[in-house]
Amino acid sequence: MSNTSSQTSVALANGQAAAASFTVPALPDGAYTHSYTVTAVYSGDSNYQPAVATQTVQLTGPSGDFAVSLNPPQFPVGTTVSVTTVLPVATVAGTLALNLIDSSQNVVASVAASSVSSATNVTPFDIPANVLSFTGIVTSGNNQISSVSSTSDLTPGQVLTGTGISPDTTIISFSPGTITMSGNATTEATGTSTTITSNAALVGFAIQAVYVPTVGSGTLTGQINFAFQA
């Protein structure tokens, strides 16, 4: 990642502001948040005394404040995944919680906060099979699901599971309130509203780790983005 240019301003004693452009080093791998302190030094003149002012500049990477990794790196819903977090603090004393977040930033599953005392932690996360579920009416002999409660995070190719839906049935297309399946519903379909689950593949999710120290600095957050395996 290349260096980053920025501009900041410093308030002067006479009420004016001086603007300055500067270049700060890139994040080591472009991934994590880091703060830099920019210091402005005024040497003084016949009217004003010398002065020093500082301004904090923060670069924020897509992974947040610290590294998060998954083992395995790709997996289907219903899997237990190991989440490794590496906290950027010398002394660790606090709690660590995990959240599974959908594309709308909703928390759909979580691991409750627990105490941690080391920088590197491996936490098992049981990913539920019904991460992406909704209700709809499945009618025998018909490949349309009607009265769909939500199509958020659905995409063609995802596998559907539910009463009256044959194994390996996928989404062909959808519109608000309606889904077209790759095959007709079976005779088990009730024709009434039922819960349907998608395998949630092909769309973006994230696992977020939240570290809350017992004392000292504020909350730190790390995140890794991924897509469920089909």
Model confidence pLDDT, tens digit, residues 164-178: 999 999 999 999 999
Residues 58, 35 contacting (CB under 8 angstroms): yes
Tell me if the bond preceding 156 is cis, omega within 30° of 0: no
Per-residue tokens: 227: 């897509």
Residue 55, number of CB atoms within 10 A of its CB: 16
**Given a cut of 80, is residue 199 above it in pLDDT?**
yes
pLDDT digits (tens, 9 = 90+) for 80-96: 999 999 998 888 999 99
pTM, to two decimals: 0.72
**Average confidence score pLDDT of the chain:** 86
Indicate the Cα dihedral angle 111, 101, 56, 117, nearest 10°.
10
Surface-to-core class of residue 129, CB atoms within 10 Å of its CB (0-12 exposed, 13-18 middle, 19+ buried): middle
Q: What is the share, in percent, of the chain residues with pLDDT greater than 70? A: 79
pLDDT digits (tens, 9 = 90+) for 4-24: 455 555 565 566 666 666 665
**Range 194-198 average pLDDT:** 97
pLDDT digits (tens, 9 = 90+) for 133-182: 999 999 999 999 999 999 999 999 999 999 999 999 999 999 999 999 99
Q: How confident is the model at residue 41 (pLDDT cuts 50, 70, 90)?
A: confident
Closest by CA to 201, choosing from 136, 138, 166, 155, is: 155
